[in-house]
Amino acid sequence: MENYTVSVSAPGKVILHGEHSVVYGKTAIAVGLGLRSSIVVKEVPTRNKPAVYIHLPCVDLQETLPLEPVVSKLFKPPLAPGITGKFSWHLPDKLDHDTHLGKVDELLHEIKPNFDILPNNQKNSLRSFLYVFSGIFGSTNLAIRSLDIAMGSELTIGAGTGSSASFAVCLAGALIRLVKLRSCSSYDSYYESQDFNFKEKEIISEWAYNCEKIMHGTPSGIDNATCTFGSVVSFKKGSRPKPLDLRLHMRILLVDTRVSRETRSLVVKVAALRHRNQAAVDHIMEACDHIANTATQVLEKLSSVKGNSNTEADYQHLAELWEMNHCLLSALGVSHPALERIRAAAGARRLACKLTGAGGGGYAMILIPPYTSRSSVDSLTSQLLESGFRVKETTLGGSGVRLEM
């Protein structure tokens, strides 16, 4: 019997346009980052009793989970109320989420008596792991084998660049691939397939959405969709995120202000401003919506360009939109002196810069068009590092979840 090894990676995400205005029903666009998380899942010989050996260095966690109680308590998860039939791993949105998560929590308290005193990040990673593992394997008839699971990430954890969705997408992707490999023979064409198909990606994104519910309560769905499909995802409240099939490879400097912020309190701050100035704030939101829509058109043009002379004009247009968007966000009161210092340094080199995400600190992104000189990027990076910021040069619009060889 073959012992399989599966390696999968998935990107983080940033919001390009539409932060805050998305809360008021306007369009947001998010893009996959060049920085990725990765997972390696290995079937290993069972030593004594079957177990999963988990290595999660990003949250400082090494854990061995016995599999027999997982099988007896968590397999065969229930369907949501009102839905009949048998649950299958193809249908994560039909799972009775609260009941299944409740059982996961009960089991974790049984097998780890100190569960309650673990830090939240470790708790959430373990809960998500058991939830997805038992949801996927628990609806198959495959014999249980011991597994070794190791995950890593180039992303800063808990900083608004989608590490939780990226983690969950890797996990769901790897476990689904393993189930499919074990369900087919080496003569099937699936065995040879080098990547996930669209339907598989939809299922992966739904499992990751359920994990986002574990981590955040009421996620919008944009992070799991962007980390799964990569490229650009357009989103409006109340409708499904829409992946756009664009081929982009835009360079940025992703600059961490190291000023911590809380998304929830910034959303409340904007709501209070709107309460006092509704017409003015609604016009700002409307303007942000136009920017998101125009930027989508520019990205479509950039995506279709093959050495076309308009690239420079398109990048300039995009830079203009970034600048306007940042200033509108600043008018909403969500900039920060650290973000403005980064903008000044970028502006001195005629490079566009905007905050991304909730603001109030967090990250700024600086657009690096292809015609920017290396010396300009290097001197800007040095200046930002000297000022105490963290700087990573990366790309926007990269690929979504993928199998690694």
Interface of this chain with ligand ADP, residues 231 to 270, rule: CB under 6 A: none
Report how far residue 92's alpha carbon sits from residue 246's, in angstroms, rounded to the nearest whole number.
27
In total, the chain counts a number of residues equal to 405
Residue 160 C-beta: closest distance to ligand PMV, Å? 3
Nearest to 254 by CA among 343, 365, 400, 172: 365
Interface of this chain with ligand ADP, residues 49 to 108, rule: CB under 6 A: 56, 58-59
Residue whose tokens read 């400097």 = 253
Residue whose tokens read 């105490």 = 388
161 lines the binding site for ligand ADP (CB under 6 A):
yes
Nearer to ligand ADP, 125 or 381 (CB): 125
Task: Locate 175 and state its tokens.
Answer: 């476990």
Among 21, 164, 226, 325, binds ligand ADP (CB under 6 A): 164
Structural contact between residues 335 and 326, judged by C-beta atoms closer than 8 angstroms:
yes
Task: Give strand pairing partners of 392.
Answer: 254
Residue 9 touches which member of ligand PMV, ligand ADP, none, C-beta under 5-8 Å by kind: none
The piece of 20-28, 88-96, 143-151, 196-204 that touches ligand PMV (CB under 6 A) is 20-28
SS3 percent helix, strand, coil of the chain, rounded to 5, is: 45, 20, 30
281 lines the binding site for ligand ADP (CB under 6 A):
no
* HSE toward the beta carbon, residue 200, CA cutoff 13 A: 21
Residue at shortest CB range from ligand ADP:
121
Residue 124 touches which member of ligand ADP, ligand PMV, none, C-beta under 5-8 Å by kind: ligand ADP
167 lines the binding site for ligand ADP (CB under 6 A):
yes
Nearer to ligand ADP, 124 or 205 (CB): 124
Phi then psi for residue 7, to 5 deg, are -120, 135
Interface of this chain with ligand ADP, residues 191 to 220, rule: CB under 6 A: 215
Nearer to ligand ADP, 10 or 321 (CB): 10
Question: Dmax over Cα atoms in the chain, in whole Å?
Answer: 68
Structural contact between residues 385 and 356, judged by C-beta atoms closer than 8 angstroms:
no
Among 21, 27, 146, 163, binds ligand ADP (CB under 6 A): 163
Residues engaged in binding ligand ADP (CB under 6 A): 37, 56, 58-59, 121, 124-125, 151, 153, 157-164, 167, 215
